[in-house]
Amino acid sequence: MTETFKAPEGWTDLDRRAVDTARVLAADAVEKVGSGHPGTAVSLAPAAYLLYQDLMRHDPTDRNWLGRDRFVLSAGHSSLTQYIQLYLGGFGLEKQDLEELRTWGSKTPGHPENFLTDGVEITTGPLGQGISSAVGFAMAQRRERGLLDPSAAPGTSPFDHFTYVIASDGDLQEGVSSEASSLAGTQQLGNLIVLWDDNEISIEGDTSIAFTEDTAARYEAYGWDVRTVDWTRGGSEYFEDVALLKAEILAAQQVTDKPTFIRLRTVIGWPIPELAGSHTVHGAKLGTEGVAGLKEVLGFDVEQQFQVDEDVLAHTRGLAERAAATKAEWEQGYQAWRAANADAATLLDRLRARELPSGFAEAFPSFEADEKGIATRAASGKVLNELAAVMPELWGGSADLAGSNNTTMKGEPSFLPEEHSSSEFAGDRFGRTLHFGIREHGMGSILSGISLHGLTRPYGGTFFQFADYMRGAVRLASLMKVPATYVWTHDSIGLGEDGPTHQPVEHLAAYRAIPNLSVVRPADANETAQAWKALLERDRGPVGLVLSRQAMPTFDRTEYAGAENLAKGGYIMKEASAEPKVILIATGSEVQYAAAAQKQLEAAGTPTRLVSMPSVEWFDEQDEAYRESVLPASVTARVSVEAGIAMPWHRFLGTHGRAVSLEHYGASADAKTLFREFGFTAEAVVEAAQESLAASGA
C-alpha cells in the first residue's frame, strides 16, 4: 500500500490490501489476455471498493433484491473495475473468470454485459450510454415509488434507493450524456449520484486537445449538486483521500432535490511507476516491467500472478454477512409496508411477475370499417388512452412531439417537479407523462434504463426520420433485449409537405437490420391495436411501432382476416379466389393499394393472395410450416409494396418477384400527390404483378 492513502474510518489493513489486490488483478488480467484497459481499473480501485464494500446497499447472495442500489459502470471499457469488485464481493465471479478476461465463453467480456454476468445491471460500452441510461434508472425508481408508496417521507420507503455511476471523460464528451444529464437536472433526480473520473486522458492522449470546458460548471448549470474531490491536490502531489470521497457521497445522499455530480480528480494508472498519467495505460497491457513495477510498489510478489491472499478474500466476502443485517432491517420496513398497503402489495407482486392485469384483453378498442379511416398514430393514441386505467405500469411520452406522436394519455399528470408544470402540462414528481425534450438519443437511453430497472413498461415517441438520432441507444437495447417501445410516427412520404428531410426512405430497411429489434408497421387502426397487444404480451426485446401521419382505410374484417393475426408478423389478409398465381405483400399505408390491386387482378381472372406483413421479425419467428402456408415456394410471382427502399424484401421476392418501392428521397407536397407521383397506386401494383407473372411463366 502506498503511503499517500487515507482510508475511511473503520477500514482496516485488510481493506487497504484488498484495494491493492484489485489493482494487481487488473494488471494481471490484461497482461494475460494481451488486451484491455488496465489504467482506470488500477487508479479507480479505491473508489470502486468504497462503493461495493462500504456504501452501496446490495446483497451478493440476492443479486435481484428489490431494495438494492443500482450501479452503472458507464466507463464500460474499464470492465475490470466492476468485475474485480464482483469477484471480491462474492457476486458470482471467481478468480478464474478474471483470468479468462475477454476470451471465448467467459463471464468477463471486454465490456460489461447484463445478460452474461451476474451483478451487472446494464450493458455498457459505447460511451455516454451508461450515464444516460442511469437517468432512466433514477426516473423509474421515482415512478415506482409513486405507484407503490407515494406518501412516505423521503428516505423512509422500502422503494427508496440510489443509482450510482462511474463515468469517464469520454462519457461526458458524448452528446447523449449531455441530453440525459440536462433532463436529469430538470427532473431534480436526487437519487442519482455520478462519480466522474477526471483523469484528463483518452485514447489519443491528453484531453486538452479536444475537451477543455469547465465540465463541473456545465453540470452546475444543468441544476446538479456539484462536488470536487481532488486526489492530485492541484497537481502538487497524489493523495488518495478515500475518506473525503466517502464523506462527499454521504453528503450527496442527503441532497434530495438534485442529482449529484462528483468530480474525482485522479491520475490514470496510479501508482504504476513510469506509466501513471500516461495514455499508454488506458487501452493496452502494461508490459512485464509495468506489471512488476506496480507489484513492487504495492508489496506483492512479482513472480506471482493473480495473487489474492486468503485473509483478504475472506474479508471482502464478508460483504454478504454485512448485507444480511442491512437487508433484515429493510425487510422489516418492507413487510410493514405490505401489511399496511394490501392493494399496492398486490400490484407489486403482479409487476414483479411481469403479469398482465385483469381486463387487459378487453381494454383494446375495436375500430369499425371505414373507407376514410384514421391515421395509425391516432389509433395508437386511442389504444394508450384505453390502457391507461388498466396498466399503471405503462408510461411514456415523446421527444417534444406529443401532439404529433399521440403519446399522451388523457388526464394523466406529467412526470416532473411541480414547479416545472406548464399551462399545457401539469405534473408532479410521481406523474405518468414523460417529456424528454428534443433529445431523441437521450430518450432512447433513458427508456432502456427505465425498462431495466424492472417494474414499469416505458415508451417514447418521435418522428421515424429522427429515429436516426437514437439509433445507438436502440442498438444497445436490442443487444440487451430490453422490452422498450418506440413510437415512431410520420413513417413515410405520407407525412407530406415537410419534405425529404422529414420523410423516411431507408429507415425501415436500416432498422430491420438490427438483430432483436422488432419493427411493426400496421396497416390500419385494428392492426395498430393488435400491435400494442402483441408487444405487451411478448414483453421481450425492443419494438419500434412505425405509424402513419395520414389517415388510411380501416379494413372491413368481415371481408379481410382478423387483425389479431398481426401477432404472427405476416398473414393472409385475403385469400385468392382459387389457387393463387401471384402474392401481394404489403405493409402500413401501402396495404390499401395492394388490396385494391388484388380486386383488379381477380376481376381480370388472376387468382391473387393478399398478405399483410406488419413485422418481418415476428413472421420469421413462426415455424416453417406456417411461413410456407403464407408464402408457398410454389408461387414465385410476388410483389412487395412499401414506401421505402426494397432491400428487406428481395429475400421474399426471389428471382421473379417485383418491388413497388421508393429508391430515392421524397419531395414536399401533400401525401396524395406524393404517393401518386412516386408510383404507389393500385395500378402500379397491378403492373408489377403482371411483370412478375410474366417472369415466372405463370
| Residues noted as catalytic | 440
- Are the C-beta atoms of 503 and 665 separated by less than 8 Å? yes
**Is the torsion defined by CA of 280, 285, 289, 293 positive or negative?**
positive
- CA–CA dist 119, 131 (Å, integer): 17
CA angle 407, 410, 413 (to 5 degrees): 90
The grid coordinates listed for 121 are: 445491471
The grid coordinates listed for 65 are: 433484491
Give the 3-state secondary structure of 406-474. Answer: CCCCCCCCEECCHHHCCCCCCEECCCCEEECCCCHHHHHHHHHHHHHHCCCEEEEEEEHHHHHHHHHHH
| Radius of gyration of the chain measured on its C-alpha atoms | 28
List, in sequence order, every beta strand (DSSP E) within 114-191.
163-168
H or E element at residue 53: none
- Rama region for 128: left / alpha / beta (φ>0; ψ in -120 to 50; rest): left
CA 665 from chain centre, in angstroms, equals: 30
* Phi, psi dihedrals of residue 286, rounded to the nearest 5°: -80, -25
Question: DSSP letter string over 66-120?
Answer: TT--EEEES-GGGHHHHHHHHHHHTSS--HHHHHTTTSTT-S--SS--TTTSTT-
* Phi, psi dihedrals of residue 137, rounded to the nearest 5°: -55, -50
CA 180 from chain centre, in angstroms, equals: 13
- Are the C-beta atoms of 418 and 411 separated by less than 8 Å? no
H or E element at residue 179: helix 175-187
Q: Are strands 394-398 and 201-202 parallel, antiparallel or unpaired?
A: unpaired
Cβ partners under 8 Å of residue 166, min gap 6: 44, 47, 48, 51, 72, 73, 74, 75, 78, 81, 195, 197
Burial of 340: CB neighbours in 10 Å, binned 0-12, 13-18, 19+: exposed
**Closest residue by Cα to residue 78 from 30, 115, 19:** 30
